[in-house]
Amino acid sequence: MRILVLGGDGYLGWPTAMYLSARGHEVHTVDDYLRRRAHREAGTNSLTPIAESLPARADAWHEVTGYRVGVTEGDLTDWSVVEPLFRDLQPEAVIHYGEMPSAPYSLISREHAVFTQYNNVINTLNVLWAMRDFTPDAHLVKLGTMGEYGTPNIDIEEGWIEIHHNGRSDRLLFPKLPGSLYHASKVHDSTNIEFACRVLGLRATDLNQGVVYGIETEESRLDPRLATRFDYDELFGTALNRFCLQAVIGHPLTVYGKGGQTRGYLNIIDTLQCVELATINPAAPGEFRVFNQFTEQFSVNDLAETVRRAGAEYGLDVKVDHIENPRVEKEDHYYNAKHTKLLDLGLKPHLLSDTLVESVFAVIERHKDRAIASAILPKTKWRPGPLVKETVSD
């Protein structure tokens, strides 16, 4: 298939491009290096050294495997970038990772909030309009997030829910309670994409993805130049990846608040499987399909305990700190999210195990001299006011 990978320079975008290229698809990537710029602004960086640009990555991929991946360096909010991608390349599938991906980033300041929603909403609108005009039969595979749903007190269904009310019923969109203005931007995208399917007749799969962990894929291991980025900082790092780094460098694991916050998680190699399954099994014309893309639920305390246990096995003395929660979120709540649709398509999950955690430790250890410890603690609060560090040892 001819596949566009938007956001092809990211943590997941680049491994996805390689994975699909290795499986015989014609892959073209697009990126404007938004994440690299945000890291430079914050004085942080990926733990893993990554090639200096997307063309450099594509060249290395060609040298190592013989496969070619196309590259466009450009901003998807700019129509003069988007139009030729669709008009000339005529993609059959569009995998859209090309967004600002961080909840705390969206709450640093008004400017960051506005940038996040501008970037994500407008670039997705451009993509939808390009599909409408140039590739109306193409399939959009859009990366959403489980964070769109928040933590309702009922089971979370996959995008749609049958509601029985006053003696009548209808299948409607599952209500969303996003946890940040970044998560809200993905809710806006879901609203626009559902409209584009229902009214303009496009086809799309919204992948409400859980938190991804892991550092290597089959393809990224082939050559150091093919490594993907690994973020552990307060803005772009996520719970399990950050805990693994903290364990290796001897930093206490930073659990925000009580640690009962429960979310869906998945291994990076399952992200690749899921995205491929959604792509090769497209939605029907006019269909807005939603998959909850994760394999297991954990609380933050579960993750901390897993990392502590694996650390002990590996020879690390891991401490767990509960620090003041910079976010406004429930720390003790019901959480039961359905996730059967990707399994029905053939997903074979790689579940979290102590062995997996230890293999992540090993890769982190190779790069631990690059870790910037001062980038780890949260500085961005959801509500205005000073952050008082109230550390309570576990």
Q: Which residues bind its own copies (CB under 8 A)?
A: 79, 110, 113-114, 117-118, 121-122, 125-126, 129, 132-133, 152-155, 157, 161, 163-166, 168-170, 172-181, 184, 187-188, 191-192, 194-195, 198-201, 328, 334, 382-384
Q: Which residue lies nearer to its own copies by CB, 333 or 367?
A: 333
Three-state SS at 159: coil
Q: How far is the CB of 134 from its own copies (least distance, A)?
A: 11
- Is 182 one of the catalytic residues? yes
Of the candidates 51, 48, 52, which has an alpha carbon nearest to the alpha carbon of residue 366? 48
Which residues, 6+ apart, have CB-to-CB distance to 335 below 8 Å?
Answer: 151, 156, 262, 263, 297
One-letter amino acid for residue 108 of the chain:
I
Q: Which residue lies nearer to its own copies by CB, 100 or 375?
A: 100
Query: What does each C-alpha distance from 297 to 183, 262, 303 come to in angstroms?
Result: 19, 7, 10
Q: Which residue lies nearer to its own copies by CB, 172 or 312?
A: 172
Q: Which residue lies nearer to its own copies by CB, 122 or 372?
A: 122
Q: Which residue lies nearer to its own copies by CB, 256 or 382?
A: 382
Cα(180)–Cα(43) distance, rounded to whole angstroms? 23
Q: Which residue lies nearer to its own copies by CB, 90 or 195?
A: 195
Q: How far is the CB of 195 from its own copies (least distance, A)?
A: 5
13-22 and 268-280 helices, crossing angle to 10°? 60
Q: Do the beta carbons of residue 28 and residue 118 sit within 8 Å?
A: no
Query: What does each C-alpha distance from 229 to 56, 119, 121, 311 come to in angstroms?
Result: 14, 21, 25, 23
Strand partners, 211: 265
One-letter amino acid for residue 39 of the chain:
H
Q: How far is the CB of 194 from its own copies (least distance, A)?
A: 8
Q: How far is the CB of 389 from its own copies (least distance, A)?
A: 21
Which residues, 6+ apart, have CB-to-CB distance to 114 below 8 Å?
Answer: none
Q: Which residue lies nearer to its own copies by CB, 180 or 238?
A: 180
Q: Which of 11, 97, 149, 182 is catalytic?
A: 182
Q: How far is the CB of 68 from its own copies (least distance, A)?
A: 31
Which residues, 6+ apart, have CB-to-CB distance to 384 below 8 Å?
Answer: none
Q: Which of 145, 205, 262, 271 is catalytic?
A: 145
Q: How far is the CB of 162 from its own copies (least distance, A)?
A: 9
Cα(355)–Cα(81) distance, rounded to whole angstroms? 44
Give the residue ranges of DSSP H helices in the chain.
13-22, 34-42, 54-65, 79-89, 110-134, 181-198, 239-249, 268-280, 300-314, 341-344, 354-367
Cα(250)–Cα(116) distance, rounded to whole angstroms? 33
Q: Do the beta carbons of residue 292 and residue 158 sit within 8 Å?
A: yes
Q: Do the beta carbons of residue 115 and residue 100 sit within 8 Å?
A: yes
- Is 19 one of the catalytic residues? no
- Is 391 one of the catalytic residues? no
Q: Which of 142, 176, 186, 341 is catalytic?
A: 186
Q: How far is the CB of 172 from its own copies (least distance, A)?
A: 4
Report DSSP state, residue 226. Answer: G
Residues known to be catalytic? 145, 182, 186
